Chains A and B, each alone.
Chain A
Amino acid sequence: MTAVAEPAVSDRTAALAEALRTAIGTERVLTDRTQVRTYECDGLANFKVTPAIVVLAESRQHVVDTVRLCSEAGVPFVARGSGTGLSGGALPSADGVLLVMSRLRSLGPVDADNRQVTVEPGVINLWVTRDAAPFDLAYAPDPSSQLVCSIGGNVAENAGGAHCLKYGFTVNHVLGAEVVLPDGEVVHLGGRAPEHPGYDLLGAFIGSEGTLGVATELTLRLIRVPEAVQTMLVGYHSVEDAAGTVSDIIAAGILPAAVEMMDALAIEAAEAAVSCGYPEGAVAVLVIELDGPQVEVEAQFRQVEEIARRRNAFETRIAADDAERGLMWKGRKSAFAAVGRISPSYFVQDGVIPRTKLPEVLAEMKRMADEKGLRVANVFHAGDGNLHPLVLFDDAVEGQAHEAEELAGDILELCVTSGGSITGEHGVGSEKRMKMAKQFTPADLDTMQLVRCAFDPDGIANPGKVFPTPRLCGERPGVRKGEHPVQAAGLGEVF
């Protein structure tokens, strides 16, 4: 067999950049180092890779052309929305294309009778609810970054938010998607009806973190704005009492729209940043929101107040109006950034535990942090056991960043051994792919890989994310002959 030399990476990407310029226009293809460096990371800023090429797509056709040219050249591509992801899911490939989707921003008319709207992936999450509001409708998933994060990114990560306890995640609110597969082919998954014959490929696609293709249009389900919303802020002298309140609410058969918890450190940070006026001296606060028909909300709200009192709440405040509600939520939603006020650096983690394990996991987490001499602030969706521990450290102190990273990793393993998950809403991305092997067996991961191979046999869509080891899809009859270059180089095993 005669070895055919692969063109050097730089030659290959240079040729691809040329082809892209011809296909979609020079002004939409960036290769200048200072320009492309803008895209070197997403919301997880400690992972940085400068992409070879950045494409600023403005239409579906630009996406199709880009993906097809990447496929023909065997060059990987990474799609990116607003870049607010917290797991490095939109981390570029050094020898690949970063496909920026944020210019695809058309937001279709709201179909009020069907409670649906069709949008392009660059549309900002909050815009959907803004456009739906005149019809008394809303888009339920509400990640804390909803002012800036894009629907396309939400779909890639199966984004959650504070209200998913009652309303579910992105996957429960996306009815249809137009998807450009990694070979450039366009398919339509789902649609405007609730069911379609065939496999639920839409369900598999949502939350696949850009590894199965790129969505170019999404049909979203809208919910009716509830008749009443009531929010309360409750202060406690112990984390156990706060956690006990959450358990008692659930045991009483009440399903709140949201139950959020913050511990003393997180409260201190939020207070320093946004002066949200949380109860003074609180070791833990809960933000509890109920929504639904007026009589139901009123009755259950009284019940929740009583439960909180029995669990030694020392202060209960009820939002009198939307402005007060907004202030209660402001403290919670700004908590991640606020931690910057009390620590030079921090890692945001995202793990899930069965809610009933909350007190013991928090105690163990504190023990682990103390052992390393580090502080952990906790902000979490207490209703569904989704923890966001913020590991605080000082990067000026030698070795502390490493210790903090280790602690963050240990906390995730604690979540898994407690029967939970390494990620509830931020995704696996680049950051946590090695942790996948803690949660899943090789057979589990290989089975997921079967889906990957069906969508992306050449592995060019967001490679190196989600899964711990690079895998190649076995040869398909009549499709590809000979050894894959990655395999030849000993970099991956054939699957």
Chain B
Amino acid sequence: MTHIAKPRIHHPGLARNRLGLTRRDYEGPMSTLCAGCGHDSITAAIIEAFWELEIAPHQVAKMSGIGCSGKTPTYFLKEAHGFNGVHGRMPAVTTGAHAANHELVCIGVSGDGDSLSIGLGQFAHAMRRNIDMLYIIENNGVYGLTKGQFSASADYGTKAKRGEVNREHPIDPVLLALNLGASFVARSFSGDKAQLVPIIKGGLRHQGFAMVDIISPCVTFNDHRGSTKSYEYTRDHYNELVQADFVPPAQEITASYEAGDVRTVTMHDGSRMRFRKVPEDYDPQDRDQVYAYIRDRQRAGEIATGLLYLEEVPPDGEGTHFHGIQGTVDEPLVNYPFEELCPGAEALEELQRRFR
């Protein structure tokens, strides 16, 4: 064969969700990324999460910018609209789409170049506005499509494939997100789906901006010895700081844990994130403490992962997310009939008295 096709056949025992869909129904066409690319594993985790959450694919808006990460929305949810826009500008497009129709489940997939260099401003402002979206950074520390230049997330001292050493300090999206008020902040690893899938589910259900930085090794340009974003380096320095489970609203928590070992945070729709094995001196709802803790772990050479920070749902229920701030009606704006938007001739006549 000279092209690759993924046969439609699936495991005969493949489960269906309440929509009658199998996990395979949430796939897209075959990835054209390099074999072994971490992004493909993230795609698989996204597929899993959407399937488990039983979200109808066509209710989803898949947003991306440019770069390897920008291509990935093609590879999941073929029955969802996608928007592969321009470099670093995915947050703006998502903001617009979300403003027009907040019932769309927005997932943005970005990369370290897309979010931390050319799109740093938009990334920051989307967090500031607390757009209701899951924002994934597929973070590999390099520019892939332009053949391996360091990106803004490349660690100080990391080595490029050609041997040069990076002498600029990285921008850490997790620290940045904590600083800018993101309400859901996580870091994970493409090679750890057990951790990744619940985080993605939580991020999708979170009302507001969910920032998930995912180390996603570039097998072609950044998986060599000396790289700090390789599979091997990531595994060697991995510290799963917080383990989080996603529990949908209707489901009872059955597993029992030692008291004090588990902490449950309820989200606006009744979904819960259940934190397990949290270190004693760590409070995933205390922004300052989380910031300090992660800085500390970084100094110790560790990559702290997990759902690191989750803001409490504001008690007024109004929410600090985009539509709450905007004061928009519950019905998506796109659903309003013209008749309810246009004031009409009489109102115009009345109004124009002011202009005389």
- Check if A and B associate: no
B-to-A contact residues, CB < 8 Å: none
A-to-B contact residues, CB < 8 Å: none
